[in-house]
Structure 1
Amino acid sequence: MRKTAIITIIAMTLMLCYFTSASIVKLYRAGSPMPAALQEQEVPYRLVLITQEMDTPFWDLVGDSALAEAEKQGISLQIWGSYGSNEDDFLKKMEIAIASKVDGIIVQGLDTEEFNELTKIQAGRHGIPVITVASDVPMQDSLRRTYVGSDHKEAGRLVARELLSDMGQAGTVILIGGSRQRYDQDLRLAGIHDILQHYPDIHTVFAEAPDERERVVSAARDVMNRYPEADALIAVNSNITETLVREIGKRYQQSPFRIYSFDDSPETMELLKAGKLEGMILQSPEEMGRISVDLMVKWLKSEAGPLDMSGYYTNIRMVKAEELP
């Protein structure tokens, strides 16, 4: 009887181990690589940087500068993320970081209820400070400590001023936005309207183009059909510029639109060099990585005092084709 009971207990223990392992494997199913283990290390703080856009030129620069600053500060920093803007995988990385009880999370902001739930309630419950980088979310919804990145409202103003300089004080301007980056997009639109509202002869039209390439193409065709007399086009969503420009190029040998972008990817830079764009906003990803790590460490050491909840803005500037080498 006693032997049977012991065998039963062993069997139950083995089954429990199996199902626990299976659950972990399921969590990191194909296409979602398991992050490096957050083991206890002989470092004062363990941080993670999480992005939705792993292995892109912009985020490579953010990550490299963040790692360099972490090494300088003598702390541990791991970079996790998803590929192709996989929102579910991105949020799972957030959950894992919180469950691992890291000392701080630096993360690309995502303006959704699920993201805000993780930062406001789950991270808050564990006392884990969260700093958003590059993309922000409303502080009151997320309770993030601060934001490090471009001032998107000022970026909108820069584009509007450049448009006035190029186009003059009259004309029709199409603003094309998308379904992602809604908070950043709203700030850019607000900056554009801050400037253009003082020019009654400039008319703005907003068109939404979801991120999927086929739907961006469809939206571009629709805009060109509805507003053939438009003078300028501003890609407010930074992820759609390349598809938008190439679709316009299929219809017109010489684009009738002055096109402006908030995307400074290598692909968009090539379009600018080729004269397909009038101008684009150049950001400072290296500053973002360095400053976000530095602020997080200072906060953890109680050296920073209250962080500026409105954010720490990195350098931005408008770039024209004639300025490029």
Structure 2
Amino acid sequence: MAEIIETTLDRVRALERAVDVLTRGRPIALPTETVYGLAADATRADAIASIYEVKGRPRFNPLISHVSDMEMAARHGLFDPVSRRLAEAFWPGPLTLVVTRAPGATVHALATAGLDTLGLRMPAGFAREVIAAFGKPLAAPSANTSGRISPTMAAHVADDLGSAIDLILDAGPAGIGLESTIVKVENGRLRLLRPGGLDAADIETVAGQRLLRQDSAGATLEAPGMLASHYAPGAAVRLDATDVRPGEALIRFGGTALSGEAAAVIVLDLSPSGNLREAAANLFSYMKQADATGARTIAFSAIPSQGLGEAIRDRLERAAAPR
């Protein structure tokens, strides 16, 4: 089983062990402000292959490369004026920018699925310290079996992948609880590839333009989180429920009771006060709790689509998609 080190109790040892495991080409579970990531050296094919192997992830699905500072980012990606303005405004933070690969970039093609672009993000918190100590970008998808619920606590990683990796760094619950928002600039226009933990409206304000959205059906796979089925629990998922059927688990929002919820296996409320930031932070953890009951279906009440609700609904629609 993986060694678990609490970063607040032994920061120096956590950094030393992380660098040691990464140097050997092995992946580690890395805490970020979004979700826990399965991180490995983004410049080594064998290290990246180990991520795909541990997750059971298809290799046509590109990975985000995480950097510690703009200098490291600029060595691997070419930043147009809009992308640079967004990086300066929101990094470190829950924003991934898909940019053209820079000449001489050492991020391996296996991490980019052979594309001439790559996704770059500068995470906040302890993850950034690990990357700086390691000195190279880390490829890091979420630390879970591919297609399943993303982990927001070290215990989630241990339950899922603990027997397959050497080290889990535990920094407590992820503060945001949703993966990063992913955007790409094309011909000066900004396109949303994945809604996430950064509100699209905040991006639009800094960029000075609207984000273009597209139907993901048949779209080129340019970034993580674009597969139709993703973030799925073992149970089936029923969206926009107005009632609860016997034997279902219920995850509701805004403190509003649903007809028939007394018969539910479990009732959880993402945010009784209707706070979308709180709902985002609780989403994956509550999905895991509901799934653990053994209910065959998890019913979700309606979630508003504005603000972070767009990202929450994106995760739920993919969780409910045919598998």
TM-score in terms of structure 1 length? 0.27
Larger radius of gyration: 1
TM-score in terms of structure 2 length? 0.27
Higher helix share: 1
